[in-house]
């Protein structure tokens, strides 16, 4: 039996003994509210899932399906843009993450729902909410004061509100300040503050952000980082692009062999590039072309200059070497 759109035919499908026929009725664009309300109580979870996903399902039926025993049905309700806010708030306490996630990320979730997320005991959906774009200022401020550093940290990486970012840059947790250091919206003054941060992971994060965003840190700050008490910080300054020649020259004399070797790769003279037996030179020879940073000449000759693609390749190779990792505790 094929449904032509006639009300009587759709009602006949809704009462059919075959599940696939009732699913067809639930999915039919001309199914009325009475049909959908009746199918919301169907014995088949496939029928109920179909009804739960429809934005034209009556609110009373959506509310009833929010308590359905089938997880996929509740998830469909949580993601339905027609689901009332009070129902979404109730679903924030669902036993499964998928349902809570769908309710949190529902495009129609208003500030009432978002406030409920911020006040909820579940860190997982507060973490999810902090990743959502276009949050109202009230909600971002609540998340910036979240008790979990993981929530504040994920917000710090991406928040576009300067006032909230300032709050997170002063967070008592180094992990949160390190995340804020990666935010492309930091000002030059804030980056200088981070260079002087007492936590080595924050100072290292500034170096990573410099390479990722193509920032030009003042040479005096780079020289300070080149003499950092943490070998972890010095290693990343030596490894990642963006420093000046005097900085790499200091690091080339570093007592840590890996740091010194990384810095020397930036100081290789041009004719060394002709010797393929030099593995570091080989890397540079393959990708050495012209400028990437706002002022690539700051490296000075005879240091090779790198274009964006070459710089990314070199950065990737240096960040993921076959040798030991440099992500340990401060030294």
Q: Which comes out higher in pLDDT, residue 167 or 305? A: 167
Asked whether residue 299 carries a pLDDT value surpassing 80, the answer given is: no
Asked whether residue 114 carries a pLDDT value surpassing 50, the answer given is: yes
Q: How far apart are CA 10 and CA 183, in angstroms?
A: 54
Residue 164 near residue 172 (C-beta atoms within 8 A): no
Q: 53: how many CB neighbours lie within 10 A of its CB?
A: 18
pLDDT of residue 122: 82
Q: Which two three-digit tokens encode residue 221?
A: 């700050």
DSSP string, 139-188: HHHHHHT-S-HHHHHHHHHH---HHHHHHHHT-SSHHHHHHHHT-TT--H
Give the total residue count for the chain. Answer: 331
pLDDT of residue 301: 32
Name the DSSP class of 289: E
Q: How far apart are CA 85 and CA 77, in angstroms?
A: 11
Closest to 202 (Cα-Cα) out of 247, 232, 245: 232
Q: Which two three-digit tokens encode residue 184?
A: 């492309």
Q: Band of the pLDDT at 267, cuts 50, 70, 90?
A: confident
Q: Which comes out higher in pLDDT, residue 308 or 81? A: 81
Q: Which comes out higher in pLDDT, residue 268 or 59? A: 59
Per-residue pLDDT, averaged over 60-87, amounts to 97
Cα angle for residues 74, 75, 80 (degrees, 5° grid): 95
Per-residue pLDDT, averaged over 300-327, amounts to 48
Beta bridge partners of 289: 305
Tens of pLDDT, residue by residue over 29-56, are: 999 999 999 999 999 999 999 999 999 9
Q: How far apart are CA 142 and CA 124, in angstroms?
A: 15
C-alpha dihedral over 35, 37, 40, 42, to 10 degrees? -50
Residue 144 near residue 122 (C-beta atoms within 8 A): no
Q: How far apart are CA 207 and CA 217, in angstroms?
A: 9
Q: Report phi then psi at 45, rounded to 5.
A: -65, -30
pLDDT of residue 317: 55
Q: 174: how many CB neighbours lie within 10 A of its CB?
A: 18
Q: Which of 104-118, 141-155, 255-269 has the lowest average pLDDT?
A: 255-269
pLDDT of residue 190: 97
pLDDT of residue 4: 55
Q: How far apart are CA 53 and CA 75, in angstroms?
A: 9
Q: Report phi then psi at 242, rounded to 5.
A: 120, -10
From the DSSP assignment, how many helices (H) and strands (E) are in the chain?
22, 2
pTM of the model: 0.72
Helix axes 279-287, 308-319, angle to 10 degrees: 150
H or E stretch at 22: helix 19-27
Q: Band of the pLDDT at 6, cuts 50, 70, 90?
A: confident
**All residues at 6 or more sequence positions from 82 whose CB lies less than 8 Å from its CB, including other chains:** 54, 55, 56, 57, 59, 62, 108
Buried b (16+ CB within 10 A) or exposed e, 76-95: bbbbbeebbbebbbbbbebe
Question: Tokens 């009432």, residue?
Answer: 112
């Amino acid at each position: 039996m094929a449904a032509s759109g006639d009300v009587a035919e759709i009602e006949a499908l809704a009462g059919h003994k075959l599940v696939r026929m009732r699913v067809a009725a639930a999915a039919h664009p001309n199914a009325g509210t009475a049909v959908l309300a009746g199918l919301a109580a169907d014995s088949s979870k496939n029928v109920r899932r179909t009804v739960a996903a429809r934005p034209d399902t009556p609110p009373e039926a959506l509310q009833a399906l929010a308590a359905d025993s089938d997880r996929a049905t509740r998830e469909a309700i949580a993601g339905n843009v027609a689901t009332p806010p009070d129902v979404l708030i109730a679903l924030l306490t669902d036993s499964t993450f998928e349902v809570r996630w769908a309710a949190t990320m529902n495009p129609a979730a208003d500030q009432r729902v978002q406030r409920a997320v911020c006040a909820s005991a579940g860190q997982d959906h507060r973490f999810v909410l902090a990743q959502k774009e276009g949050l109202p200022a009230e909600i971002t401020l609540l998340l910036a004061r979240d008790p979990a550093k993981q929530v504040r940290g994920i917000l710090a990486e991406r928040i576009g509100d300067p006032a909230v970012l300032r709050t997170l840059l002063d967070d008592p947790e180094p992990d949160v300040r390190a995340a804020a250091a990666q935010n492309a919206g930091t000002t030059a003054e804030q980056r200088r503050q981070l260079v002087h941060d007492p936590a080595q992971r924050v100072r290292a994060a500034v170096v990573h952000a410099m390479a990722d965003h193509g920032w030009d840190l003042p040479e005096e700050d780079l020289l300070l980082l080149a003499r950092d008490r943490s070998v972890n910080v010095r290693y990343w300054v030596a490894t990642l692009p963006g420093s000046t020649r005097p900085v790499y020259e200091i690091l080339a004399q570093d007592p840590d062999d890996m740091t010194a070797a990384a810095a020397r790769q930036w100081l290789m003279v041009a004719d060394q590039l002709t010797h393929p037996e030099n593995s570091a030179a080989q890397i540079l020879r393959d990708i050495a072309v012209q400028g990437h940073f706002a002022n690539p000449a700051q490296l000075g000759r005879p240091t090779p200059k790198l274009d964006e693609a070459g710089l990314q390749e070199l950065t990737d190779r240096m960040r993921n070497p076959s040798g030991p990792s440099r992500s340990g505790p401060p030294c």
